[in-house]
Structure formats: structure tokens, C-alpha cells
Amino acid sequence: MNGIVKNLPDADYRNAPGYGSTAIKWFLEEVPAQAKHWIDHPEDAPTFDAASVGQLVHALVLGQPHPFVVKDWDGRTKEGKERAAEVAANGQIGLSQSDFDLAHGMADGVRRHPTVAAILDKPGSAECSVFATVDGVKCKARFDWLPDDPNLPALDLKTAMSANPRVFVKNVAKFEYAVQRAEYLDVLEAVEGRRRELLIVAVDKRAPHLTSLVGVPEMWSQIASDKAAKARRIIRECEASGVWPDYGDGIHYIDAPTYYVFDADEQEIEV
């Protein structure tokens, strides 16, 4: 599979060959053996409890189908257990009414942002999959919103405890959103032959669910691009050798973190 593929079901995208941005970040944060295990055994990969609400927000904002229904049954009763089994058999997922209300409120918050709404109202594709070989590595990316007009920025929707850009910057650093952005744009550039822009849409989980539109400046973009290229180099070398290194069988002598040394110095001063 290669190029831009519209309307590809999420399960088909996940099962398609290629390294996605999450895998790219794993190869930066973990030893190759750990990253490779999570790729080969996705059931063991890290998950997040709030993922369902975020998925529903994405579906509501982008007008996509979703498997979520309001959990209006009591799992402790016979009727509730039967209802839960019926929902599961239909491939649906139950969410509490409060989570449903939260997701709808956040989706409304995104749509109230005039710039975001203007981009979403232009012709484009939601959950758009892109496949390409970058630096000799098969890669894939899935854009939340990819406009048909290449002069318009693509959008990456993120939920956050605070959409205040001064606070959200910590999320960008902690979760390596800039690396994800770089990988997406590298894959898209390999297909289109030109560099596009991708902006992050941060929506606040707190009412009234304010939304900010966040860009990544040139210096940070370059650092992120270098990191993505480093991950692809590691993958390429591992694939070529057939060796996915782990922690090794030697002894690791570790240095005390700076904060630990500072804390010790402060305690000494207090004494």
C-alpha cells in the first residue's frame, strides 16, 4: 500500500504494514527489543484510560462513525449483564453519560473556534491515511484532517486538561507531539513532493472547553525532524541486521539525576 488512502477503516490502517508515529516514538524512548515487541504484540502496548473519550471527540468533530453508546445499564443485574453482552456482540462500547456529555461539549468547543471551523469546512478528508517509504523504512501516518488544498494546514486534534498554549506546551514536549507532526509531514512529503503545514488543535477538557490552535516553530520542528530521522535509522539498521538490541548483559552504572544531587545539597544546607 502506498500513497494517500481515503476512507480506510481504522482497523485496516492499524493492520497495514508500516511504522506509525507511535512506533517511531517508541524507538526513541525504548530499546529496539521493547519497541519491536509492542509492534508485534499490540495487546501488550501501553494504553490510556481516557482514550475512549478522546476517540469520541475525534469522531464527533470530524463527523465520523463511532462504536460508543451511553452505558444506561447496571452491570450488577441480570438485565444489565444481558444488555452489556448485547452491546459487546454488536461491537459497541459503553460510556457513561457524563463521558458522553464531556465529549459532546469538547466537540462543540472545537467547532466554536473560527479558524479551525473554517479549515474543517473546506474540502478535505478526515482520518486520512498516508503510506510511503521514508529513509528506506515503510512508514504510515493518519491525519485527523487533511485538506484537499495543499496550501491549507492539516489538523491534529488533541484533548488536554488545559488548552492554554503556555500550559499545553508541556504536553507537546512530554508526549512528543512535535515528533509525531514531523513524522506525519515526512510521510506526506514523500508522497506529494512538497512540505505542508500541520497545526495542533488543543481542546480543553474543562468547561467551557476552550480551543487553541498551536503551531510548532522552526527550531523545534528541526529538532523533531532529526529525532524522527534517528528513529527511522534505528529501524533500518535493525531490519537489515535482524537484531533488535535489548538492555544487554552488562552492568549499567548510572549517574544520579541532577535534581537528586540538588535535593541532597539543599538538605545539607538545612541541617
84 has a pLDDT exceeding 90: no
Residue 141 lies in a domain: yes
Q: Is the pTM here over 0.75, yes or no?
A: yes
Cα–Cα dist 11/22, whole Å: 15
Domain extent, residue 154, equals 1-29+113-248
Which range (5-9, 33-37, 89-93, 218-222) has the least confidence? 89-93
- pLDDT band for position 48 (50/70/90)? low
Model confidence pLDDT, tens digit, residues 132-151: 999 999 999 999 999 999 99
Whether residue 25 is found in the same domain as residue 153:
yes
Whether residue 57 is found in the same domain as residue 152:
no
Residue 36 lies in a domain: no
Which pLDDT score, from 0 to 100, does residue 74 have? Answer: 83
Whether residue 20 is found in the same domain as residue 124:
yes
Whether residue 11 is found in the same domain as residue 121:
yes
41 has a pLDDT exceeding 90: yes
Model confidence pLDDT, tens digit, residues 153-182: 999 999 999 999 999 999 999 999 999 999
Whether residue 59 is found in the same domain as residue 168:
no
Whether residue 13 is found in the same domain as residue 119:
yes
Whether residue 148 is found in the same domain as residue 243:
yes
66 has a pLDDT exceeding 80: yes
Q: Which of 87, 109, 131 is the last residue of a domain?
A: 109
Cα–Cα dist 108/105, whole Å: 5
CATH of the domain at 22: 3.90.320.10
Residue 196 lies in a domain: yes
Residue 253 lies in a domain: no
Cα–Cα dist 158/76, whole Å: 34
Which pLDDT score, from 0 to 100, does residue 270 have? Answer: 64
What is the average pLDDT score of the chain? 93
Whether residue 143 is found in the same domain as residue 185:
yes
Whether residue 70 is found in the same domain as residue 100:
yes
Q: Of 22, 58, 57, which Cα lies nearest the Cα of 176?
A: 22
- pLDDT band for position 87 (50/70/90)? confident
3 phi and psi angles, rounded to 5 deg: 95, -165
Whether residue 237 is found in the same domain as residue 160:
yes
Residue 41 lies in a domain: no
271 has a pLDDT exceeding 60: no
Residue 42 lies in a domain: no
Whether residue 139 is found in the same domain as residue 58:
no
pLDDT, mean of residues 32-44: 95
**Domains of the chain: total:** 2
Q: Of 29, 4, 42, which Cα lies nearest the Cα of 150?
A: 4
218 has a pLDDT exceeding 60: yes
Q: Are residues 6 and 209 in contact, defined by beta-carbon separation less than 8 angstroms?
A: no
Whether residue 90 is found in the same domain as residue 207:
no
